[in-house]
């Protein structure tokens, strides 16, 4: 069996460690590199030491050292760091799985441009369950297109820095597209004071931050006499890690191109 050489960005963080563990446990993957920001406490240490089974791979802040043996980089960090990694990987033929959220339009454009030089899977959520949920939402929106008010409620841990979550925004985009609307024009992100009656064409968002919530998302379709709720709740980051490995395997025979989890899971 040919092993896929994978590097992990943010290897010392919560998600990074989950990814390191997933790679270490995968029979068809090998941890080939680990990155973290300059000054991170784990720099120079074995990336898998926390598992009690060292991988022989030190966490590096230098991209050339951390990515020297990698075919694919999995990145769940911050937009500014991810874009630096994207530029380097595009120039050196390293493929990318990007789960980072919070990009502005310029950042998304930079990723699309890099995909002309290397193969990239870019998705706001790598969970297989979440991506199946997106297909369910598409189906629901197409059939509940008249007389139903749509609200998206998401909850995450206290450390998450962007809001609404990338997954919530993706849910909104999927629903808006199914309804023939532009999310930029119909999204409502805040309500305060005397707001007046609800615009029936709007899609509302509500954000909760607290504790150690991994990620909860609920879409409410509310009509007179009934409401339908479609929810996905994460109890562990392992679902994101396992989905990321599926994305990395998908890229094994790709050279260039921008893909998402619909491509990985053949949901298109």
DSSP state letters, 14-31: HHHHHHHHHHHH-TTEEE
Say whether 92 is catalytic: no
Length, in residues, of the chain: 268
Q: One of 85, 95, 156, 217 is an active-site residue; which one?
A: 156
Say whether 156 is catalytic: yes
pLDDT tens per residue, the chain (268 residues)? 578 999 999 999 999 999 999 999 999 999 999 999 999 999 999 999 999 999 999 999 999 999 999 999 999 999 999 999 999 999 999 999 999 988 999 999 999 999 999 999 999 889 999 999 999 999 999 999 999 999 999 999 999 999 999 999 999 999 999 999 999 999 999 999 999 999 999 999 999 999 999 999 999 999 999 999 999 999 998 999 999 999 999 999 999 999 999 999 998 8
Q: Is 95 in a helix, a strand, or coil?
A: strand
Domains of the chain and CATH, by start:
4-122+237-264 (3.40.50.720), 128-234 (3.30.360.10)
Name which of 7, 59, 57, 1 is nearest 27 in CA terms: 1
Q: One of 92, 117, 135, 160 is an active-site residue; which one?
A: 160
Backbone angles phi, psi at 47, to 5 degrees: -65, -25
Backbone angles phi, psi at 97, to 5 degrees: -115, 115
Sheet holding 149-156, edge to edge: 187-188, 203-209, 149-156, 215-223, 226-234
Alpha helices in the chain (DSSP H): 14-25, 63-66, 79-92, 105-114, 128-143, 166-178, 183-186, 238-250, 261-264
């Amino acid at each position: 069996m040919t092993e896929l050489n994978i590097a992990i960005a943010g290897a010392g963080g919560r998600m990074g460690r989950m990814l390191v563990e997933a790679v270490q446990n995968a029979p068809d993957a090998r941890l080939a590199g680990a990155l973290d920001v300059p000054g991170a406490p784990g720099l120079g240490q074995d990336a898998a030491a926390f598992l009690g089974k060292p991988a022989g791979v030190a966490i590096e802040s230098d991209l050339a050292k951390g990515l020297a043996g990698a075919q694919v980089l999995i990145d769940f960090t911050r937009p500014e760091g991810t874009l630096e990694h994207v530029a380097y990987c595009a120039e050196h033929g390293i493929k990318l799985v990007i789960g980072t959220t919070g990009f502005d339009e310029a950042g998304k454009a930079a990723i699309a441009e890099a995909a002309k030089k290397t193969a990239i899977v870019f998705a706001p959520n790598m969970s297989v369950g979440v991506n199946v949920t997106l297909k369910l939402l598409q189906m629901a929106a197409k059939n509940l297109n008249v007389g139903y008010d749509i609200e998206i409620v998401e909850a995450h841990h206290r450390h998450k820095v962007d809001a609404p979550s990338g997954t919530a925004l993706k849910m909104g985009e999927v629903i808006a597209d199914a309804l023939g609307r532009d999310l930029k024009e119909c999204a409502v992100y805040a309500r305060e004071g005397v707001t007046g009656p609800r615009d029936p064409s709007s899609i509302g968002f509500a954000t909760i931050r607290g504790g150690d919530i991994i990620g909860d998302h609920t879409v409410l379709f509310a009509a007179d006499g009934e409401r339908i709720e479609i929810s996905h709740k994460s109890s562990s980051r392992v679902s994101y890690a396992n989905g990321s490995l599926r994305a990395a395997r998908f890229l094994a025979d790709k050279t260039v191109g921008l893909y998402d989890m619909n491509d990985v899971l053949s949901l298109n």
